[in-house]
């Protein structure tokens, strides 16, 4: 069908206007990019006026408020917001108030890239902080590195993150994720020979966070003579865990190590209970660290004896921990046991950056990146130090649920209770 | 233990595992059939691909959760409240969002129901937070020993619910005048209108029924899995696969396809590896669709009207 001439002209005029608008927008964007070529090198000196009257330090973060990571993403945002309030009540950063800009990435690796580009190019943030998960951290940190931004991040500690060898990234937890189960393996191997288990079963999501942890633990235990009687990797999108649980149960392993997030951590406990299978020790990479989310889902009585590696614990006498917990409980309610470790890790990112900024007397990202790789930082997760690719050099500890609370049980230097071994039977 | 005895014991072990996997596959398949039945029913009657069905299932699970947490209502008893409530929600959705679609209904419905899914996810997140929760009752963790295999009550009850509801749906479809009206609308919408059937009303009630079934499916899903408002994404892809294999619009097809999907996946997971279980099932799906593009029980002419 022929299009009427008049209508074509209308469309053409519209197109020309759109093109003109696009050109203007592109021009503005180019100008904007030009002005942000030295990110965060803005107003950082002098302290003549109070924080409220100075231009805020804008910090951009992409958070997963929907999709697979929504629970953790929300907790990360909560932690950042708490630190924002805290730091603003205590003079801000170099006398400037802190203002966070959050964008939702819906747990998508492409959206997280778009978000950081938007934060840097459109919002002209001074600093960026990391999102949740190794999956989102790697592409996000790569973008930040391209623009010269430091990338302190709370929750991307899988091997793939460090393999990228990004000079701007630091993982603000005590140890690389791959070593999270080392403390569990060391504890098992520290048991007297008569008690030490002889068989172990492993099952893990095909996920860069969980799988490497199990492989390291498996290697350590096998080298010490603990026989592997079951090892299977299952797709991350699995929703029916019953055949995998059946395989673990059928192996009759004395010790079970599971590479889980919260949904499968809960599902395995439920399946084991249904099948009346209680291993002598059960550790899950994630899930049992989620406080009341975990205990409500599996039933408080059934948490008894379940273990999880952790970098933060509510009872730890670390720098600012009580301040963080008070702020958390005031803002979100609940009990100390219900505080998500994600929020604590996000708060720690704020602590690290604050110390780097105060040390360099600057919001300049280049200087901050140098400081991040040279200083030792006091955080609510304990003292942290990072190598050239952002790996922390500390060690996580082992937490066990005992009488409805998660308590550190290994190593002895931080333990507040002895490990329950063997794990008691299921209660209901 | 001598080698022969060891191999015998290992063989018995594997056989035990396989039998257990097949039983669990069948029982879990019933849950998926329950969740997918609403999807296939709605497509059959309305030519609507309701990609919001997963979100409605999750909404059903949250309703059961709210009743359990705040009013201490048993999960199965709670269906007496959640199913009628979800029926009304379904009728409302059809009336407000689906009925106005007059042209390109099938394609537009995908966009509209996807928007609906996002809306439901957002509202559930705002009300219940994005934390994972799981439904609790005495039968969610208890099990019964049948010939050395511990079968959890929740799986048996869910399977029984699936059979009861699907049988009831069959009865409505094939033994009542309303069922005749539904089937007439499924076969030819225009002809049904010509003989005096109020197709809009039939469609609203059908959408309501499909949504009420999502409430039952959601209860079963939430008692077996920890869920959050975003759990619908993985769910809807599997439910769509179920109705495509079974034949879109076929209730019996959805039931059989769900049983095949879960049984094959569970069997492969224990006999080979969990990594291959989904792949093998999809290979079967592709082969079936090559031979029968309309699915196992779908009609070859599709839904042309």
Which residues does chain B have within 8 Å of residue A293's beta carbon, measured at their own beta carbons?
131-133
**Can you give the length of chain A in residues?**
428
- Give the model's confidence band at B285: pLDDT under 50 very low, under 70 low, under 90 confident, else very high: confident
pLDDT at res. A143: 94
Residues A112/A140, Cβ–Cβ less than 8 Å = yes
Judge whether B115 is closer than 8 Å to chain A, CB to CB: no
Report the pLDDT value the prediction gives residue A293, as an integer from 0 to 100: 82
Average pLDDT of the segment spanning B136-161:
87
Q: How confident is the model at residue B11 (pLDDT cuts 50, 70, 90)?
A: low
Query: pLDDT in tens for each of the 428 residues of chain A?
Result: 333 333 333 334 444 444 444 433 433 333 333 333 334 444 433 344 445 568 999 999 999 988 778 878 989 999 999 999 999 999 999 999 999 999 999 888 899 999 999 999 999 999 999 999 888 999 999 999 999 999 999 999 888 899 889 999 999 999 888 889 999 999 999 999 899 999 999 999 988 889 999 999 999 999 999 999 999 999 887 888 988 999 999 899 999 999 998 889 999 999 999 888 999 999 999 889 887 888 888 888 889 999 999 888 887 778 889 999 999 999 988 888 778 889 999 999 999 999 999 999 999 999 999 999 999 999 999 889 999 999 998 888 899 999 988 888 988 877 889 999 999 998 75
B245 touches chain A (CB under 8 A): no
The rounded distance, in Å, linking the Cα atoms of B270 and B276 is 10
Residue A52: the pLDDT is: 52
Answer whether A400's CB lies under 8 Å from A288's CB. no
Residue B249: per-residue pLDDT: 80
Question: What per-residue confidence (pLDDT) applies to B8?
Answer: 53
Q: Locate tokens 């359990």: which residue?
A: B68
- What is the reported pLDDT for B273? 84
Q: Which residues of A touch B273 (CB under 8 A)?
A: 232-233
B152 has which bridge partners?
B143
Report residue B80's pLDDT band, with 50, 70 and 90 as the boundaries: very high
Instruction: Indicate the pairing of strand A151-153 with strand A169-171.
Output: parallel
Bridge partner list, B133: B227
pLDDT of residue A340: 83
Helix (H, G, I), strand (E, B) or coil at A405: strand
Q: Are A232 and A201 in contact (CB under 8 A)?
A: no
The ipTM (two decimal places) reads 0.78
**B230 vs A274: CB contact, 8 Å cut-off?**
no
Verify whether the Cβ–Cβ distance A67 to B150 is below 8 Å. Answer: no
Which of B136, B226, B230 lies closest to A70 in CB terms?
A: B230
Cα-based torsion angle of the residue sequence A177, A181, A182, A188 in order, rounded to the nearest 10 degrees: 180
B81-98 tens-digit pLDDT: 999 999 999 999 999 998
Residue B27's closest chain A neighbor by CA? A242
Residue B270 to residue A275, Cβ atoms within 8 A: no
Angle between helices B3-46 and B53-71 in degrees, nearest 10: 110
> In chain B, what is the straight-line distance between the N-terminal and C-terminal CA atoms, in Å?
69
> Which among B13, B134, B152 has CB closest to A274?
B152
List strands edge to edge, sheet with A255-259.
A227-234, A199-205, A255-259, A281-284, A306-310, A397-402, A405-410
* pLDDT at A29 (0 to 100): 38
Q: CA A313, CA A321: separation in Å to the nearest integer?
A: 9
Query: In this predicted model, what pLDDT tens digit does every residue of B160-176 receive, in sequence order?
Result: 998 998 889 888 888 88
pLDDT of residue A318: 82
Q: Is the predicted pLDDT of residue B254 greater than 50, yes or no?
A: yes
**Interaxial angle between packed helices B232-246 and B53-71, expressed in degrees from 0 to 180 and rounded to the nearest 10:** 130
Residues 6+ apart with CB under 8 A from B73: B67, B81
Per the omega criterion (within 30 degrees of 0), is the bond before A59 cis? Answer: no
The string of pLDDT tens digits covering residues B219-246 is 999 999 889 888 888 888 889 989 888 8
| Strand intervals (E) in chain B | 143-146, 149-152
**Is A274 within 8 Å of B141 when comparing Cβ atoms?**
yes
B69 Cβ under 8 Å from any chain A Cβ: no
How far away is chain A from the Cα of B60, in angstroms, using its nearest Cα? Answer: 18
Residue B55 has pLDDT above 70, yes or no: yes
Q: With H, G, I as helix, E, B as strand and everything else as coil, classify residue A62.
A: strand
Rama region for B71: left / alpha / beta (φ>0; ψ in -120 to 50; rest):
alpha
What confidence category does residue B272 fall into, taking pLDDT thresholds of 50, 70 and 90? Answer: confident
Cα separation, B171 vs A250, whole angstroms: 42
Query: In whole angstroms, what is the distance from residue B64 CA to residue B82 CA?
Result: 7
Compute the 3-state secondary structure of chain A and give helix, strand, coil in percent, each to the nearest 5: 45, 20, 40
- CA B246 to centroid of chain Cα atoms: 12
Q: Residue A259: name the closest of A215, A303, A198, A300 by CA.
A: A215
pLDDT of residue A307: 96
Interface check for B47 against chain A (CB to CB < 8 A): the answer is no
Among positive and negative, which fits the CA dihedral A66, A70, A74, A79?
A: negative
> What is the rounded CA–CA span in Å between residue A293 and residue A288?
8
CB-CB under 8 Å, A243 with B226: no
Looking at the complex, report in whole angstroms how far the Cα of residue A183 sits from the nearest Cα belonging to chain B: 27
CB-based contacts of B185, cutoff 8 Å, min separation 6: B45, B192, B197, B199, B202, B203, B206
pTM: 0.76
Average pLDDT (B43-60) is: 89
Q: Chain B, 247-266: which have a CB under 8 Å from a chain A CB?
A: 262, 265-266
Task: Give the separation between CA A124 and CA A60, rounded to whole angstroms.
Answer: 9
Q: Is the dihedral of CA B218, B223, B227, B228 positive or negative?
A: positive
């Amino acid at each position: 069908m022929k299009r009427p001439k008049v209508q074509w002209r209308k469309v053409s005029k519209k197109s020309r206007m759109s093109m003109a608008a696009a050109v203007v927008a592109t021009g503005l964007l180019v100008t904007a990019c030009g002005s942000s070529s030295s990110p965060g090198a803005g107003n950082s000196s002098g302290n003549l006026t109070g924080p409220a009257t100075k231009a805020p330090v804008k910090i951009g973060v992409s958070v997963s408020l929907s999709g697979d990571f929504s629970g953790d993403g929300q907790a990360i945002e909560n932690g950042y917001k708490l630190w924002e309030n805290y730091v603003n009540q205590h003079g801000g950063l170099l006398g400037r108030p802190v203002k966070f800009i959050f964008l939702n990435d819906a747990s998508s690796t492409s959206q997280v890239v778009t978000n950081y580009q938007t934060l840097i190019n459109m919002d002209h943030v001074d600093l960026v902080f990391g999102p949740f998960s190794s999956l989102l951290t790697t592409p996000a940190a790569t973008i930040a590195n391209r623009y010269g931004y430091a990338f302190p991040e709370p929750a991307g500690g899988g091997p793939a993150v460090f393999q990228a060898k990004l000079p701007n990234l630091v993982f603000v937890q005590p140890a690389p994720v791959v070593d999270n189960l080392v403390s569990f393996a060391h504890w098992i191997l520290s048991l007297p020979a008569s008690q030490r288990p002889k068989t172990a079963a492993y099952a893990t999501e095909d996920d860069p966070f969980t799988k490497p942890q199990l492989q390291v633990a498996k290697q350590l235990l096998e080298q010490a003579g603990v026989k592997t009687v079951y090892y299977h990797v299952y797709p991350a999108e699995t929703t029916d865990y019953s055949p995998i649980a059946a395989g673990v149960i059928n192996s009759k392993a004395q010790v079970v190590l599971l590479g889980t997030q919260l949904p499968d951590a809960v599902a395995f406990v439920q399946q084991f209970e249904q099948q009346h299978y209680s291993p002598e020790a059960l550790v899950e990479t994630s899930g049992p660290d989620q406080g009341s989310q975990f205990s409500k889902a599996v039933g408080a009585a059934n948490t008894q004896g379940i273990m999880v590696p952790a970098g933060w614990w509510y009872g730890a006498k670390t720098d600012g921990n009580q301040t963080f917990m008070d702020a958390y409980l005031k803002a979100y309610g609940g009990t100390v046991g219900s505080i998500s470790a994600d929020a604590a890790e996000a708060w720690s990112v704020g602590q690290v950056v604050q110390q780097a900024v105060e040390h360099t007397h600057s919001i300049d990202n280049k200087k901050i990146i140098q400081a991040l790789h040279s200083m030792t930082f006091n955080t609510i997760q304990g003292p942290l130090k990072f190598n050239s690719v952002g790996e922390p050099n500390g060690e996580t500890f082992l937490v066990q649920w005992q009488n409805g609370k998660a308590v550190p049980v290994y190593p002895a230097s931080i333990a507040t209770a002895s490990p329950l071994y063997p794990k008691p039977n299921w209660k209901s | 233990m001598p080698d022969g005895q060891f191999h015998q014991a290992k063989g018995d072990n594997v056989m035990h595992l396989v039998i257990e996997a097949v039983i669990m596959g069948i029982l879990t398949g019933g849950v998926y059939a329950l969740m997918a039945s609403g999807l296939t029913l709605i497509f059959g009657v309305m030519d609507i691909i309701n990609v919001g069905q997963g979100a409605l299932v999750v909404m059903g699970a949250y309703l059961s959760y709210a009743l359990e947490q705040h009013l201490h209502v048993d999960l199965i008893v709670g269906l007496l409240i959640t199913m009628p409530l979800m029926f009304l929600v379904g009728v409302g959705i059809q009336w407000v969002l689906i009925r106005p679609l007059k042209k390109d209904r099938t394609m537009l419905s995908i966009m509209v129901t996807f928007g609906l899914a996002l809306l439901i996810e957002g509202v559930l997140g705002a009300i219940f937070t994005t934390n994972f929760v799981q439904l609790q009752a005495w039968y969610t963790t208890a099990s019964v020993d049948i010939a050395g295999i511990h079968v959890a009550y929740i799986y048996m009850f869910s399977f029984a619910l699936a059979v009861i509801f699907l049988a009831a749906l069959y009865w409505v479809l094939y033994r009542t005048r309303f069922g005749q009206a539904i089937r007439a609308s499924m076969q030819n919408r225009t002809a049904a209108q010509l003989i005096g059937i109020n197709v809009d009303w039939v469609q609203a009630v059908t959408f309501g029924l499909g949504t009420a079934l999502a409430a039952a499916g959601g209860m079963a899903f939430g008692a077996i899995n920890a869920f959050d408002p975003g759990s619908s994404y993985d769910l809807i892809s599997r439910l769509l696969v179920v109705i495509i294999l079974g034949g879109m619009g076929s209730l019996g097809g959805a039931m059989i396809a769900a049983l095949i999907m879960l049984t094959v996946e569970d069997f492969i997971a224990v006999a080979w590896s969990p990594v291959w279980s989904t792949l093998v099932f999809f290979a079967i799906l592709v082969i079936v669709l090559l031979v029968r593009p309309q699915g196992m029980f779908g009609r070859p002419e599709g839904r042309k009207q």
